[in-house]
Amino acid sequence: MTPQVLDARAEHLLRDLAPQVLGAVIRRYRDFAAAEDAVQEALVAAAFQWPGEGVPEHPRAWLIQVASRRMTDHVRSEIARRRRETAAAIDIDATTPAPGLEPETGEDDTLILLFMCCHPALTSSSAIALTLRAVGGLTTAEIAHAFLVPEATMAQRISRAKHSIKTSGVPFQLPSHEERAGRLRTVLHVLYLIFNEGYTSTAGSQLHRPELSSEAIRLARAVYRSLPEDAEAAGLLALMLLTDARRTARTGPAGELIPLTQQDRSLWDRQEISEGTAVLTAALSKGAVGAYQLQAAIAALHDEAPRVEDTDWPQILALYDLLKRMSGNPMVVLNHAIAAAMVHGPATGLELLTALDADERLRGHHRLPAVRAHLLELAGDRQAAIANYQAAAALATSLPERNYLITQAARLRES
């Protein structure tokens, strides 16, 4: 049997229901790893059956029922296996439905699952993979494809992550009040990494993998809906929307990278910009300003400029000043130097860059010589700019970025 394709609406519904169904099954059976497998099977069953039979009247209940049936099968075979292995008593607790656990709302379940999947005990690559599968409802094959690794590699990564969750004994509930802020920062960071992976693509020859950015936005939206009062959750959603708005303008017909200053601004997605701006404005009025809100505010200033020469650089510089005080990230220092150069001239920017020469975290990274080349060009030092573009190209690890830097060097040689 070949599966008919689910239409976009059913697909969307299925992915939205995935964490709610998983939440319900975990409540009933407690075993996260097995419940997660059972829900994946239910999602696959839906993808096979719904196109032909139509979406059932109660899709959530349908999925819970199919997943529960799989759980029952799993529990039976577990019991049989344990009987074979040992005559000792069976841990009834772990294999029978836990009664009396009232399901909470679906959105709470999504949040609880995000906290579980983004557990600090996991490496970020494991947390990303598990989040996309358990909360995003993506199949292992889809996740493997998005990260350009073999399916077996991704399956291993997910099963190791599930094992860590199991052995860490995290209960299926929201973290305690004291823990919550710190744990939420990890969740937001994982979503930020998923978005970045989709937007800039550290591997391979394609600059964007939009399915990852869209998924990150969908999950950030779910967090924002569950925690509308958290300013940084709002800041992250706004940052994603305001950055994603420029996606189409960022690549040319031959797959080449087009920098912000040269993009066709009519291609920017106005709807994403206005939604991002609205989310950000509401967040900023709440007080506690964090790094995601600041980055979103910078993105908003770029998005609001009708032409590149209308960019409000003094305001952007002021925001980078704040961001620099808040984070020791050398990438922030780099961007701060660019903003300073746009306001006070390239010499100021170049001077700020010298502070980064000794920074171990940037050793061998192409961004430092690339930014220096740009500022040297603004300063009129053509030869040094060419040398720095070439040095940056030799270090670049993304093909579109390498090609962009080589082309910049060639352009300057011919100017």
Partner 1 sequence: MKYILMMHCPSTGYDSFGAWPKKDIQAHIAFMHSFNKALRAAGGLISAEGLANPHEAKIVRAGNDGQPITDGVFPESKEFLAGYWIVEVENAEQAYALAARASAAPGPGGAPMNMPIEVRQVLSGPPEEFL
Question: Residue 346 CB, nearest distance to partner 1 (Å)?
Answer: 23
CA distances from 366 to 197, 295, 362, 399, 401 (A): 17, 22, 8, 12, 9
* 407 lines the binding site for partner 1 (CB under 8 A): yes
Q: Identify the residue among 176, 254, 306, 309 touching partner 1 (CB under 8 A).
A: 254
Question: Residue 84 CB, nearest distance to partner 1 (Å)?
Answer: 32
* 410 lines the binding site for partner 1 (CB under 8 A): yes
* 261 lines the binding site for partner 1 (CB under 8 A): no
CA 160, 79, 173, 109 dihedral sign is positive
Distance CA 308, CA 249 (A): 14
Stretch that binds partner 1, among 31-39, 174-182, 250-258, 337-345 (CB under 8 A): 250-258
Distance CA 203, CA 404 (A): 16
Q: Which residues fall within 8 angstroms of residue 363, CB to CB, at 6 or more apart?
A: none
Long-range contacts of 224-227 (CB under 8 A, 24+ apart): 224/279, 225/107, 226/107, 226/108, 226/110, 226/111, 227/111, 227/184
Nearer to partner 1, 222 or 396 (CB): 396
| Interaction mask 197-226, partner 1, x per CB under 8 A | -------xx---------------------
Stretch that binds partner 1, among 63-71, 155-163, 169-177, 251-259 (CB under 8 A): 251-259
Distance CA 303, CA 270 (A): 9
* 399 lines the binding site for partner 1 (CB under 8 A): yes
Stretch that binds partner 1, among 98-106, 334-342, 354-362, 399-407 (CB under 8 A): 399-407
Question: Residue 295 CB, nearest distance to partner 1 (Å)?
Answer: 29
CA distances from 230 to 20, 78, 196, 227, 233 (A): 22, 42, 21, 6, 5
* 141 lines the binding site for partner 1 (CB under 8 A): no
Q: Identify the residue among 223, 342, 393, 401 touching partner 1 (CB under 8 A).
A: 393
412 CB-contact burial (10 Å; exposed 0-12 / middle 13-18 / buried 19+): middle
Stretch that binds partner 1, among 23-31, 34-42, 271-279, 400-408 (CB under 8 A): 400-408
Q: Identify the residue among 4, 123, 168, 397 touching partner 1 (CB under 8 A).
A: 397
Question: Residue 400 CB, nearest distance to partner 1 (Å)?
Answer: 9
Distance CA 362, CA 369 (A): 10
Question: Residue 382 CB, nearest distance to partner 1 (Å)?
Answer: 14
Place of tokens 């697909």: 11
- E-strand spans in 247-406? none
SS (H, E, C) 323-346: HHHHCCCHHHHHHHHHHHHHHHCH
* 186 lines the binding site for partner 1 (CB under 8 A): no
Q: Which residues fall within 8 angstroms of residue 372, CB to CB, at 6 or more apart?
A: 350, 353, 388
- Total residues interacting with partner 1, rule: CB under 8 A: 21
* 409 lines the binding site for partner 1 (CB under 8 A): yes
Nearer to partner 1, 163 or 411 (CB): 411
Stretch that binds partner 1, among 274-282, 309-317, 340-348, 388-396 (CB under 8 A): 388-396
Question: Residue 357 CB, nearest distance to partner 1 (Å)?
Answer: 19
What is the DSSP code string of 111-139?
HHHHHHHT-TTS-HHHHHHHIIIIIT---
* 394 lines the binding site for partner 1 (CB under 8 A): yes
CB environment 136-173: b (16+ within 10 A), e (fewer): bbbbbebbbbbbebeeeebbebbbebbebbeeeebebe
* 173 lines the binding site for partner 1 (CB under 8 A): no
Nearer to partner 1, 153 or 168 (CB): 153
Query: Which residues here bind partner 1, judged by CB under 8 A?
Result: 204-205, 254-256, 390, 393-397, 399, 402-403, 406-407, 409-411, 413-414
